[in-house]
Amino acid sequence: MATPKLSYSLLLLIFITTFSQQAKLGISKLEQVPTPPLPLLPLPSYSQLKWQQRELIMFLHFGVNTFSDSEWGTGKENPSIFNPVGLNASQWVAAASDAGFDLMILTAKHHDGFCLWPSKYTRHSVVGSPWKNGHGDVVKEFVTAAKVHGGVDVGLYLSPWDRHDRRYGRNLEYNEYYLAQLQELLRKYGSVKEIWFDGAKGTNAPNMSYYFSDWFAMVKELQMSINIFSDAGPDVRWVGDEKGFAGDTCWSTINRTSLSIGNGSIVGYLNTGDPRGTDWLPAECDVSIREGWFWHKSQEPKKLSDLLQIYYNSVGRNCVLLFNVPPNTTGLISESDVNRLKQFRIAINTIFTTNLADKCLVKASSVRGGKSSDFGPDKVLDHDHLWTYWAPRDDNNNVRNDIDHWIELRDDRGLRFNVVRIQEPIGLGQRIKMHEIYLDGKLISNGTTIGYKRLHRLENGMVHGRVVRIRIAEYRGSVPLISSIGLHFDPYWKPNEL
């Protein structure tokens, strides 16, 4: 009788031991699943991430300057000159959408003070014009056209400098007036995704203190998901020039305490950003399709080659391109501008639709959590450019960045390209300070920052080889991250013909 009792006890002990070991093993397996690296502060907000992914925004400069053939109006223009008899905002939206723009910003009021909507605080507006017998509303038609079309958001520019209104120069009165108009625009016309403020004004303008903090607070109260643009943010910063060019080094981080609106001495700082910046404040590059910002009969759109250079130096340098396309006196975007926009979109699609790296074998210097983790080098070839990425093995003790981190793409059939695209997962911060690109062991390009997108259009034109290696030479934080890599062919890039 003792034997069965012993066997039963032994079986029970084995069962308990096995169950306990399996439980411990299960826990340890879960604990061993590699987690994402810590983010590197500061980080973008949700609305800043959505803004960055747009890449292209259209600006529409339109108003009495369109009819007076000027850039900066005097404020003394008679509203009767504003008469765009063929105005069709749906044509504006269609032209923008067909060219790949999904946000359009309209100059609701420029420096001349003329308002494109019937503001109840001034007669210097469409109310005093013959257009639609004084009953028109350009802002409303613009917003309605975008809504009907779908897929296109709207933004507004309300010039702080007002050369018409007599209250300008009297701080309290004018700031109350400005805030009143701001409330009209942000309460009456639905969702606004970006609002533009600047410090532009003439040298002889009256002294005026703008209550920017009050304005910004009001904007955020009325439109929760809006991005505010100005020299000092708080959501988007000016790039520091009107050529559409960001700095070759361009950080999305900067110190807002070092910025002030209308301060010409900080344009260099705006252009490059600051790797030690405590604020996420990405740059927007503004430039016009023509020489001027407003439409002029004597001007034609820039050449396609110029537009592509602007794209490489803005979107290709971690920025968003704000591209001005001004409606003409009829109230339409001119046919020559529409055609140039179509050519621009065809060119961008031709260059970037095909990624020649898609069929490459990918390997890296190391992988966070090992080869079977979610951070392998293959992630740079998927279609998620924000939340999937290659992460090398972490080394918290590597304060000098002296570990050789690299990722390599190989195609033994051969690769022929003249553009290299690299992207960081900026949702976890901007990290890379210096990088190098090699083809079959030979250096073909190098640069500093990457950010959301870095485009290297190779100076000597097309190259061919089998192995492309991207080496991260210097970075912030404990580990660099890359979310996407592309090898592309730009048939429009012929440096030998320049």
Percent of the chain at pLDDT > 90 equals 89
Q: What would the mean pLDDT of 232-261 be, rounded to a whole number?
A: 97
Treating both helix axes as pointing N-terminal to C-terminal, what angle do 335-352 and 89-98 enclose, rounded to 10 degrees?
20
- Answer yes or no: is pLDDT of 96 > 90: yes
CB 226 within 8 A of CB 194: yes
How large is the average pLDDT for residues 173-184?
A: 98
Mean pLDDT is lowest, of 21-25, 110-114, 427-431, for: 21-25
Residue 196, pLDDT score: 97
How many angstroms separate the CA atoms of 156 and 334, rounded? 21
Return the amino acid letter for 129.
S
Residue 479 confidence (pLDDT) above 60: yes
Rounded Cα–Cα distance for residues 58 and 272 (Å): 23
Q: Whole-angstrom Cα distance, residue 115 to residue 52?
A: 30
For residues 496 and 276, the model is more confident at 276
Whether the per-residue pLDDT at 6 is higher than 60: the answer is no
Q: How far apart are CA 199 and CA 155, in angstroms?
A: 18
Please tell me the least confidently modeled range out of 108-117, 154-163, 168-177, 368-377: 368-377
Nearest-CA neighbor of 235 among 194, 274, 268?
Answer: 194
Confidence grade of residue 18 (pLDDT, cut at 50, 70, 90): low
The whole-number pLDDT of residue 494 equals 87
Q: Please determine, for residue 382, whether its predicted confidence score (pLDDT) is greater than 60.
A: yes
| Residue 415 confidence (pLDDT) above 90 | yes
444 SS3 class: strand
Mean pLDDT across 417-440: 98
Report, as an integer, the average pLDDT of 76-90. 98
Is residue 1 over pLDDT 50?
no
Q: Name the band, by pLDDT with cuts 50, 70 and 90, for residue 371.
A: confident
| β-strands 405-417, 56-60 pairing | unpaired
pLDDT of residue 396 exceeding 80, the answer is no
Rounded-to-integer distance, Cα 477 and Cα 274, Å: 15
Strand partners, 56: 321
How many CB atoms within 10 Å of residue 72? Answer: 16
Give the predicted TM-score (pTM) of the model. Answer: 0.93
User: For residue 10, what pLDDT is reported?
Assistant: 56
* 38 has a pLDDT exceeding 80: yes
Q: Which of 145, 234, 242, 167 is nearest to 195 (CA)?
A: 234
pLDDT at 2 over 80: no
Report the mean per-residue pLDDT for the chain.
94
